[in-house]
Copies of this chain bind each other. A is one copy, B any other.
């Protein structure tokens, strides 16, 4: 048998690999048929003008992959049945990338921080230092709760800044707060369990509870957050989900009286309280209000994130758990992705997080003030709520209904708005209210956005 191979003797691909590839292609294409004997290594080496070692390397690889097999005393043969059908062409259509908003569209989407103020250089320096100083063990697998140094730093930080009372062992590091809610839903809720939820609340989190089969019951909120007087009697909820520091999306701060009433209700019904504390570090009026968790650490699951304060791309979230839940949530985290990576500890311990918080708070205050001023000037009939904390506020127009049609008309005028009704079980109660995320927008952009909004409303 003559094997007319074409070798590139000066190429970057090793000769043995060229021989291997071409033989393989011919076997797969059916040009070298099953049970056909291939030339001896000596003969092929001679024919190709290469050393025998080169041919042997190619043959060894083809044997290892099952293309050739050797018959004792008889040489090497092509394994039969390898002729391959042409693989179906991959569909040429990638799924379309999410459409970029048009260049000029001003998007008041809530939940985006001021990305241009991320302490990128500092974070990079620390990442470098942490990698340099890590022990080999640090690079290996960790427990599902995450690196112990990170949890120790976070425990001290949360106590100092948020009044959260826990041991580092009660913390589970998560891939953003999003994963923390998944863990809580999957570890704590059985199908049919009742989950009491603020109405309105973030639609994505409600979907997580619904997905595990929970019966989701809405409790209305007002300008002070959850209306505890309307917590339902005659139910034994498994959990109550609240955003006490800054109700999302309506914006209220839950007063201490309601906090205590909520905890009383939870104790009486045996419910857990899930405290979603997504942006409370940025509080403009007065000092941050301590977390609900500090009032009853054995009743409250505290969930936080550094996506708003530091950067979403880092995917740093955490859950602080009552002791009886620690094992179940850790087990669930292990199933979902073993554990999360993190270099957070030194960033906290060396004071960078505090300094960063102080710096961005000034940035956010200016943006909030610009938004409030623009609303007061151009839309005096709108009432503003939830502006004391965080990166968004709400404004309510008594005379408008922000349905899909109106939202589209506004977008056509260059401003993207976000109706509260989209997050509400009882949508009719919120038809005139918009959420304005301002953390990611410069003051002049904010003003321009409100001008466009008001023009289009008229």
Cα(A337)–Cα(B142), bound, Å: 19
Residues of B within 8 A of A130 (CB): 124
Cα(A147)–Cα(B57), bound, Å: 39
Q: Is there contact, CB below 8 Å, between B131 and A127?
A: yes
Residues of B within 8 A of A254 (CB): 66
Cα(A313)–Cα(B340), bound, Å: 8
Q: Is there contact, CB below 8 Å, between B314 and A341?
A: yes
Cα(A139)–Cα(B94), bound, Å: 25
In the complex, whether A404 has a CB less than 8 A from a CB of chain B is no
Q: Is there contact, CB below 8 Å, between B286 and A82?
A: no
Knowing A81-B257, A130-B124, say if A315 contacts B341 (CB, 8 Å): yes
In the complex, whether A53 has a CB less than 8 A from a CB of chain B is no
Cβ contact of A112, chosen from B66, B125, B141, B312, cutoff 8 A: B141
Cα(A140)–Cα(B147), bound, Å: 24
CB distance from A424 to the nearest CB of B (A): 21
Knowing A124-B130, A340-B175, say if A313 contacts B138 (CB, 8 Å): yes
Cβ contact of A182, chosen from B165, B257, B337, cutoff 8 A: B337
> How many chain copies does the complex carry?
2
Q: Is there contact, CB below 8 Å, between A88 and B296?
A: yes
Q: Is there contact, CB below 8 Å, between B115 and A335?
A: no
| Chain B residue with Cβ nearest A388 | B64
* Contact bitstring A82-122, B, C-beta under 8 A = 1, else 0: 10100110110111011000000000000011011010110
Cβ contact of A132, chosen from B120, B132, B224, cutoff 8 A: B120
Chain A: interface residue count, which band? 35 or more
Cα(A166)–Cα(B87), bound, Å: 13
Q: Is there contact, CB below 8 Å, between A338 and B139?
A: no
In the complex, whether A287 has a CB less than 8 A from a CB of chain B is yes
In the complex, whether A159 has a CB less than 8 A from a CB of chain B is no
Residues of B within 8 A of A457 (CB): none
Residues of B within 8 A of A330 (CB): 95
CB distance from A307 to the nearest CB of B (A): 8
Residues of B within 8 A of A174 (CB): 337
User: Which 7 pairs, one residue from A and one from B, show the smallest C-beta to C-beta distance?
Assistant: A66-B255, A124-B131, A175-B337, A115-B136, A94-B169, A127-B127, A139-B311
